Amino acid sequence: MMRWDFDKITQEAIKEITACDDLKNLEALRVKFLGRKGLLTEVYSSLPTLSAEEKPLVGKNANNFRNKITSLLDERRILLENTSTDIVAETLDVSLPGIAAPVGREHILSQIIEEICSTFENLGFVVQDGPEIETEFNNFTALNIPADHPSRDSFDTFYLETPDPEQKDRNLLLRSQTSPVQIRLMKQFKPPFAVVIPGKVYRPDAVDASHSFVFHQIEGLLVDEDIKFSDLKGLLTAFCQRLFGEKTRMRFRPHYFPFTEPSAEVDISCYICDGKGCSVCGRKGWLEIMGCGMVNPKVFEAVKYPKGKYTGLAFGMGVERMAMLKYGINDIRLFFENDVRFLKQF
């Protein structure tokens, strides 16, 4: 009679190994079965004492047992290694915050400017900028704003004490719109071009929750020999759908700007309520987001482009307004106060 019932031993070993869910215990099992003082060693060391009949049979059974257990142990080890939470699981509070290098935030206005500019860059535009201190010619005259227009009054435009080199008896001013950069670029370059121009503009408005004497605008200008009003609609629709989502519906409302003709204000379907009417859109379902139009031929005249050769489209939008709409910010002063609790929110 054989001293070892290999079938039984194997069954029990399999049971123990498959029940083991810890690498430490698995190692203990390995030692128990295959180790120097383990079961198998005991079997092998007893082989010389066995009869010539028994010897090959026990040897064969022992080898089978070793192969079977070794592969089982390996399998189990790999499984446990992969699923194991390993290192001292009992002291790890996984709900504690992780540690990362400190990171700062771009100002929310910079983020919006970036988003808008890069959207236009993807549509084939380039980004340009220009000075904040301007001449009356660039800020008004060249943009077809009449000499006696109210916006030129000191109630509506900041003037500096510095005289305007282009015009005696006039002073330099802080631009009240980004449009003078259009004039600067057109004086310097011939079409075709497609530019967007972000920047600060100034208007003497008393500071309160919805007014600021300085704010940011983004201006766009596309001039070529054959730009059409339909292009204006198509381009701005493409822009708004990229920025606010593909389902955004557009509304072009006729409006008046001296430097464009025809002119329009652009409304988008409210992206909060999808046009059904909510508190963000004042129950109208529409949000007014920019002004636009076809460049008035008077403007081309002012920059001395050949008469009738070019047409163009222009548009402009307020960055603070965009940010306020997008994030529900209710006070324009927050943008310029730079409370870090505000800066870190975006």
Partner 1 sequence: MKLSLNWLNDFVRHGLLPEKLAERLTMAGHEVKSIDEIAGDRVFEIEITPNRPDCLNTLGLAREVSAIVNKPLVLQKLKTIKIPKTLCSVTIEDRSACLRYVGAVVENISIAESPIVVKERLQAMGVRSINNVVDITNYGLFENGQPLHTFDYDKLIGGKIIVRRAKAGEKIVTLDGVERQLNPSILVIADAERAVAIAGIMGGQDTEVTAKTKRILLESAYFDPVLIRRAGRALGLTSDSAYRFERGVDLTNVDVAAKRALSRLLDFAGGNIVNYRDVAVKKTVTQKQFSVDMKGIGHFLGTNISAVQVKKILGKLDFKVSGKGECLKVMAPSFRSDIKGAIDISEEISRIIGYDRLDSSLPQIKPSAIVSSERFQLKRKLRRILTAQGLDEAISYPLISRGAIEKTNVADLPISRVKNPLSLDQEYLRPSLLASLLAVVNLNFNHGQKNLRLFELGKIYPPAGEKEVLGIVLTGNRPQNWQINKKETVDFYDLKGIVVRIFETLGFDLPTCVLGKKTIDIVLEKEKIGFLGKVSKDILKNWDLKSDDVYYAEIDLEKFYKLKPQIKRFVSLTDFPSITRDVSIAVKQDVSFGQIESLAREIGSTHLIAINFIEQYLGEKIAAGQKGLVFSLLYQSSQRTLTEAEIAPIHEKILQRLSQDFGAVIR
140-150 as b/e: b if 16+ CB within 10 A? bbbbbbeeeee
Q: 58 or 145: whose CB is closer to partner 1?
A: 145
Cβ of residue 141: shortest distance to partner 1, in angstroms? 16
Q: 70 or 110: whose CB is closer to partner 1?
A: 110
Piece of 20-28, 55-63, 240-248, 289-297 that binds partner 1 (CB under 8 A):
289-297
Position 35: which residue type?
G
Does the protein bind partner 1 through residue 187 (CB under 8 A)? Answer: no
* Residue selected from 123, 272, 273, 329 as contacting partner 1 according to rule CB under 8 A: 123
Rounded Cα distance, 126 and 123, in Å: 9
Q: 26 or 117: whose CB is closer to partner 1?
A: 117
Cβ of residue 38: shortest distance to partner 1, in angstroms? 43
Piece of 39-47, 59-67, 70-78, 260-268 that binds partner 1 (CB under 8 A):
260-268
* Residue selected from 170, 231, 273, 278 as contacting partner 1 according to rule CB under 8 A: 231
Specify which residues 201 forms β-bridges with. Answer: 215
DSSP string computed for 245-293: -TT--EEEEEEEETTEEEEEEEEEE-TTTTTS--TTTTTSSEEEEEEEE
Piece of 5-13, 51-59, 75-83, 105-113 that binds partner 1 (CB under 8 A):
105-113
Cβ of residue 190: shortest distance to partner 1, in angstroms? 6
Cβ of residue 84: shortest distance to partner 1, in angstroms? 24
Q: How many other C-beta atoms are found inside a 10 Å radius of the C-beta of residue 164?
A: 17
Does the protein bind partner 1 through residue 242 (CB under 8 A)? Answer: no
Query: Tokens representing 72?
Result: 């089982």
173 phi, psi to nearest 5 deg? -135, 165
Supply the DSSP symbol for 307: T
Judged by CB under 8 A, how many residues of this single chain contact partner 1?
Answer: 91
* Residue selected from 248, 311, 324, 332 as contacting partner 1 according to rule CB under 8 A: 311
Asked if residues 291 and 315 have their Cβ atoms less than 8 Å apart, the reply is: yes
